[in-house]
A and B are shown apart, each in its own frame.
Chain A
């Protein structure tokens, strides 16, 4: 079937309701829990094709073209044919047809979410919906109350929020002009829309949007005209959700402000929040992440209904809504900053791959990570300097655990001593781990991320020594400066693909890097003494690796480029920009060892 392109293997049926014929597609085993995907504007059900495909092996997936869109017929006359009440009739008809006995799990994007909010808050759907996942589409009633509240007591912040959302809603005003939008969509806009989506929204080119776009968009204008003014001026006072709600919030949405959802917990108790660094069309740009979150939410609610007690430790970390369920790989995760970072991600609910050359400590990290909230955690024994081992690791991770969402290239070793005492072997060793380890990580896992095309983040642990020269650390500083520059270059290259790169410059942190550091040009006994002495000094400084881990998570959330962490690192970073001479004077000092 040509029309079902992108929905391979879908079974098609027609549901009639109030004189309209709705085109419904089904995938997956009908005995499984039913998930109904509702599309937005200007879209048709094919917007969900990639998500549906990923959900089909676990659920009974149902998609339908909203009236007037895709292959469903349009009401006549159009005016008054798109009210939320009629859309609710459509939904109930579809739900009754595909899952007459069991309630369905509802997922809506954009206008699909706007109408789903209506379904999830009106009385007559009670018992027909098991859960609701909303993305990029607020309830018009909640929106109306949001505006009223801000108009009633316009503090500067509230006025700012009103103006911000007001500016983002420009297209809503346009759609209220008569005839012109239809002409534009059926004319030049409809022709150019795929290119606009590709350029502005980074929606991958391909078989979407479908050829029905001009008429979808022209009919769909009545969604706005029939509902927006009516609901925003007289929002329902009882728009409380009677089902569990999960909100997926794309942070880069140019049509909707995140502030709209600030008080959503009042309307939807027990709301589960997720945030995603992406633009508006997440069903096209982030299908992996969406299907993972939808599956998790649906299964959790199915289990709750069945009376199965929650088995997993609840992730309580600060950034749980951002990292929940994501796959994070940390190298050097057996100790110090790497271990603390793995734990911080675990606390945020991420799945963790702990890589270290020491098997036992990597296993320990993985074990503890599961105790504090990681749904899954694995340990891998790999020396990051070993190219072949890293290649094998990348293959294994992709095959068994999935594509890495956040990569933390953290493994590193210390080397101190004068330049002339540093042997070529010393150089090779420190560059192999500190620089080549990062290169291999970026090359292999970064490539997987880029090929998947659904964003991601790379964190490289550089050092304050990357901009603070020192006569005691020539090789170490060189390796770290290289990591810093590599991160900056890679950041530029990957920016267009939604992959962020951050360089972390910790400074003096109390980890065992001092106890294992090599001191060039001294005998074994003196090396031991210096290791002990430097460990004690770092111990006195006592800056905990946990704080560096927090800085790493924040850097990923905010997509920061260079993050000096300790006060001395921040000071050195400032000095390197404004008073480099002073920094060079510091470089000449003998460290107190």
Chain B
């Protein structure tokens, strides 16, 4: 992995980093409170309340929680199945917490994978995600087309013996753009997504469509273009026989000529990165 580059982050990026680490803090706090019998709905509510208490008023999307084989999206056919259910957590079960709060106008979108007690399969999946994080930033720096990078990630997953589960997300995206969101007095949501954020995404989609790019990073033709500068929430999601694992964090893409500066992860001080560094 790349050595932690000490960067002079612009004030704006610092805002994004702040909300991203807040969100991961929330995930760790909620994960520590999970115990057998807690349902997905309760876990989602715990995340929502934790963040509301700390000043989050708007969402890119409301918090999700997936337990057991739902971490691998087993049998998912319609998007409504992403919403938290009454499934109860049991000992040894894997879980994923996924939330996208907006704080002071900055958006974060994170995914946190863990398990209640030891789960060697998920540990293995999490360890193998490291190669994906490296692959993605390397190929973005090479300015490869997003569709090609997607296919390379796919190939790596197949080599590792896993199934691509981000394919189950809307449009099969491995990543999507996030941006600043205007702070309004009320922040309604539509199917779990904040309307302000959806508006931003839609306007990106319209502008991008004219210029030949898309804010959605998918396996389809509309993603057959080099990375667009901006902030991308990248979420590779591995599945292996009823166990899933993902991380999600912001990749900063700039138009700098220096490869190091042209793309970098917003923050390297995140639970999954620390986990790899500790060699677990």
Contact = CB atoms under 8 A, between A and B. Distances in A.
Contact of B240 (A335, A365, A368, A544): A368
Interface in B140-164: 158-161, 163
B238 to A, nearest CB: 12
B174 to A, nearest CB: 14
B241 interface: yes
Given A343-B241, A347-B241, A371 B121 contact: yes
B61 to A, nearest CB: 25
B160 A364 contact: yes
Contact of B158 (A343, A347, A512): A512
A372 B125 CA distance: 12
B124 interface: yes
Interface string A488-508: 000000000000000000000
A368 B158 contact: no
Contacts of A372: 121, 240-241
Contacts of A313: 120
Contacts of B163: 544, 546
A339 interface: yes
A361 interface: yes
A321 to B, nearest CB: 19
Given A343-B241, A347-B241, A546-B241, A371 B124 contact: yes
Nearest to B124: A371
A544 B241 CA distance: 12
Interface string A189-218: 000000000000000000000000000000
Contacts of A335: 158-159
B124 A339 contact: no
Given A347-B241, A368-B240, A546-B241, A361 B159 contact: yes
A343 B121 CA distance: 13
B165 to A, nearest CB: 12
A512 B155 CA distance: 9
A368 B120 contact: no
Interface string A506-540: 00000010000000000000000000000000010
Interface residues of A, number: 15
A524 B219 CA distance: 25
A371 B120 CA distance: 7
Contacts of B240: 368, 372
Nearest to A347: B241
Taking chain A's interface residues, is the majority helix, strand, or loop, or is none over half, making it mixed? helix
In this complex, the interface size class of chain B, counting residues with CB under 8 Å from chain A, is: 10 to 19
Nearest to A365: B161
B262 to A, nearest CB: 27
Contacts of A343: 161, 241
Interface in A542-591: 544, 546
A339 B160 CA distance: 11
A268 to B, nearest CB: 24
Interface string B184-218: 00000000000000000000000000000000000
A256 to B, nearest CB: 35
A539 B163 CA distance: 12
Interface string A4-24: 000000000000000000000
Contacts of B241: 343, 347, 372, 546
Nearest to B123: A371
A11 B164 CA distance: 61
A364 B241 CA distance: 15
Contact of B161 (A339, A347, A539): A339
A347 B158 CA distance: 19
Contacts of A368: 124, 161, 240
Nearest to A544: B163
Nearest to B167: A542
A364 B158 contact: no
Interface in A355-394: 361, 364-365, 368, 371-372
A546 B241 CA distance: 9
A126 B153 CA distance: 59
Nearest to B120: A371
The 5 A-B pairs with the shortest beta carbon distances in the complex, nearest first, are A368-B161, A371-B121, A371-B120, A364-B161, A371-B124
Given A368-B124, A371-B121, A371-B124, 17 more contacts: A313-B120, A339-B161, A343-B161, A343-B241, A347-B241, A361-B159, A364-B159, A364-B160, A364-B161, A365-B161, A368-B240, A372-B240, A372-B241, A512-B158, A539-B219, A546-B163, A546-B241
18 contacts: A313-B120, A335-B159, A339-B161, A343-B161, A343-B241, A361-B159, A364-B159, A364-B160, A365-B161, A368-B240, A371-B121, A371-B124, A372-B121, A372-B240, A372-B241, A539-B219, A546-B163, A546-B241
